[in-house]
């Protein structure tokens, strides 16, 4: 039986709407009133597309890392995006992920040039990128609102080459996704609910309801993008994709959060993708007003065991084993290829991918721990069971919060994780 049953609805495009911090909301975007010019913008402080900090001018205009990566991917994959607001979206640091169509149009408008993409950008990693195809640019993303649609039939694309497992491309994708997470981090220090980590000196704000909804949706989009790197996932019907995401989406975000927690958090804290935190003590850093609410005590009862379970099952072993980004990529892929509800979703031709994934991990473990590579390999494989325990914990907590109306979940989160 599946861990939970997903709703057979079609996922549409564009959901990521991070809540702007005061630092990002005050950043001004470059003017778009002039026509497209071959001259790069003269601004050295703000990205000409979204207003974020400039990383370079390699494609003809000053741009942040997020917009540079976005532009390169869109050009290489020949992406065709659609705007739902007639091409009138305002692109800022806070809204740049809302409409990719208008973001790409603005990239061209400020002077970013496709011809500036060098051959090494087109080649990508040193291994051939054959498990990735052009249709990944049309990967399904989670929307704020779902519209009913019948399940899709299996994709007809047969361009994937299952003879290649490109772990380098997956690690690169993971880095891109995590660089986006950093852009969503909370930069301002709140006077209420803000705590400084002793281990890093960095301030983190207590996670609020909108942070939880946001990182759940972010995890869904990232997990779906990851799945679309593999032909067996792309060939699933939409109903089966939703069912896979109902489990894999939780596991995927827990790996990213567990890795960040192991790297940055003091003992007992759990860090989300946007750098907000949860603590086993529900009342820790909670405002006095919220602490007096009628359902606060009931929330605290469930919250304690839930956060402790995440720390014990994921971040503590990640910290103990010093899990690196390569091993995170392997763990995500194994979770994707081995859903815990056999018979409900049937992948085709995953045996080679799974065995290659295992051999890559064995080789990496031997290089990282020459004296006990086999032991490390076994410990990392055992983490799969531990992560699935954490998936069960987060699902149960989410379900309880929904049933008892302790939190209002976004429709897309409910449709995938709770139906």
User: Can you give the pLDDT at residue 8?
Assistant: 36
pLDDT above 90 covers a percentage of the chain that reads 34
CA-to-CA distance for 70 and 395, rounded, in angstroms? 32
Q: Are residues 70 and 132 in the same domain?
A: no
Task: Kindly state whether residues 146 and 46 are assigned to the same domain.
Answer: no
Cβ partners under 8 Å of residue 235, min gap 6: 154, 155, 157, 348
CA distance 98 to 182: 17
- What is the pLDDT at residue 268? 92
CA distance 353 to 111: 41
Same domain for 152 and 248:
yes
Look at residue 102 and tell me whether its pLDDT is greater than 70: yes
**Banded model confidence at residue 15, pLDDT cuts 50, 70, 90:** very low
Say if residue 195 is in the same domain as residue 237: yes
Q: Which domain holds residue 35?
A: 18-112
Spatial contact of 146 and 9, defined as CB atoms under 8 Å apart: yes
**328-382 tens-digit pLDDT:** 999 999 999 998 876 688 888 888 888 889 999 999 999 998 899 999 999 999 9
Query: What does pLDDT average to over the chain?
Result: 77
CATH number for position 189 = 1.10.565.10
**Taking 90 as the threshold, does the pLDDT of residue 277 lie above it?**
yes
Contact between 397 and 203 (Cβ < 8 Å): no
- Same domain membership, residue 178 and residue 66: no
Q: Are residues 145 and 172 in the same domain?
A: yes
Asked whether residue 95 falls in the same domain as residue 231, the answer is: no
Q: How confident is the model at residue 165 (pLDDT cuts 50, 70, 90)?
A: low
The listed range with the strongest mean pLDDT (40-54, 181-195, 315-329) is 315-329
Per-residue confidence (pLDDT) for residue 266, from 0 to 100? 94
Q: Is the same domain home to 213 and 266? A: yes
> pLDDT at residue 291 above 80?
yes
Separation between Cα atoms, residue 3 and residue 392, nearest integer Å: 8
Provide the whole-model pTM.
0.62
For residue 117, tell me if it sits in a domain: no
- Give the Cα separation of 17 and 101 in Å (integer): 15
Per residue in 390-408, pLDDT tens? Answer: 999 888 888 877 766 767 7
pLDDT of residue 298: 86
Question: pLDDT band for position 191 (50/70/90)?
Answer: low
Residue 274: pLDDT over 80: yes
Residue 33 CB neighbours (<10 A): 5
Residue 64's domain is classified under what CATH number?
Answer: 3.30.50.10
Q: Is the pLDDT of residue 4 over 50?
A: no
In 3D, which of 150, 261, 399 has the Cα closest to residue 413?
399
Q: pLDDT at residue 152 above 70? A: no
Domain count, the chain: 2
Q: How far apart are CA 276 and CA 187, in angstroms?
A: 10
Q: Looking at 112, 135, 170, which one is the last position of a domain?
A: 112
DSSP 8-state class, residue 315: I
Q: Which of 64, 85, 112 is the last residue of a domain?
A: 112
pLDDT level of residue 418 (50, 70, 90 thresholds)? low
Which of 114-123, 248-257, 367-376 has the lowest average pLDDT?
Answer: 114-123
89 and 139 belong to one structural domain: no
pLDDT at site 314: 96
Instruction: Give the pLDDT band (50/70/90) at residue 311.
Output: very high
Is 239 a residue whose pLDDT tops 70?
yes
Query: What's residue 45's pLDDT?
Result: 73
pLDDT value, residue 284: 92
SS3 302: helix
Which among 64, 90, 112 is the end of a domain? 112
What is the model's pLDDT at position 209?
A: 87
Nearest to residue 319, comparing CAs of 361, 261, 380? 261
| pLDDT score recorded for residue 77 | 81
In a domain, 279, yes or no: yes
Residues 187 and 286 in one domain: yes
Distance CA 208, CA 156 (A): 42
Q: Which residue has the higher pLDDT, 10 or 79?
A: 79
Selected residue with higher pLDDT from 43 and 370: 370
């Amino acid at each position: 039986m599946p861990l939970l049953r997903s709703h057979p609805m079609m996922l549409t495009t564009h959901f990521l709407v991070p809540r702007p911090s005061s630092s990002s909301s005050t950043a001004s975007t470059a003017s778009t009133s002039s026509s497209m010019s071959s001259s790069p913008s003269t601004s050295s402080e703000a990205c000409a597309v979204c207003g974020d900090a400039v990383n370079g001018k390699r494609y003809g205009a000053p741009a942040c890392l997020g917009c540079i990566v976005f532009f390169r991917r869109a050009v290489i994959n020949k992406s065709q995006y659609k705007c739902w607001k007639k091409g009138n979206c305002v692109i800022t640091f806070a809204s740049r992920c809302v409409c990719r169509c208008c973001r790409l149009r603005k990239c061209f408008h400020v002077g970013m040039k496709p011809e500036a993409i060098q051959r090494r950008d087109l080649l990508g990693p040193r291994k051939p990128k054959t498990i990735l195809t052009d249709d990944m640019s049309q990967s399904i993303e989670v929307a704020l609102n779902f519209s009913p649609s019948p399940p899709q039939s299996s994709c007809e694309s047969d361009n994937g080459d299952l003879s290649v497992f490109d772990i380098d491309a997956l690690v690169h994708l993971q880095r891109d996704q995590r660089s986006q997470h950093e852009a969503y981090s909370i930069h301002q220090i709140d006077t209420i609910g803000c705590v400084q980590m002793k281990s890093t000196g960095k301030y983190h704000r207590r996670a609020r309801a909108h942070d939880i909804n946001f990182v759940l949706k972010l995890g869904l989009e990232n997990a779906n993008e990851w799945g679309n790197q593999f032909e067996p996932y792309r060939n699933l019907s939409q109903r089966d994709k939703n069912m896979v995401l109902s489990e894999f989406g939780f596991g995927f975000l827990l790996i990213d959060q567990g890795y960040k927690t192991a790297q940055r958090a003091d003992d007992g804290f759990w860090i989300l993708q946007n750098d907000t935190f949860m603590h086993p003590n529900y009342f820790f850093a909670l405002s006095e007003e919220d602490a007096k609410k009628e359902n606060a005590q009931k929330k605290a009862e469930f919250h304690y065991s839930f956060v402790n379970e995440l720390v014990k099952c994921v971040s503590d072993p990640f910290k103990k084993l010093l899990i690196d980004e390569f091993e995170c990529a392997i763990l995500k892929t194994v979770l994707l290829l081995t859903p815990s509800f056999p018979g409900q979703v049937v992948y085709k031709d995953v045996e080679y991918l799974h065995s290659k994934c295992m051999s890559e991990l064995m080789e990496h473990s031997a290089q990282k721990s020459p004296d006990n590579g086999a032991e490390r390999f076994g410990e990392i494989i055992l983490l799969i069971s531990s992560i699935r325990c954490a998936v069960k914990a987060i699902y149960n907590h989410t379900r309880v919060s929904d049933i008892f109306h302790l939190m209002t979940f976004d429709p897309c989160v409910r449709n995938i994780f709770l139906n």
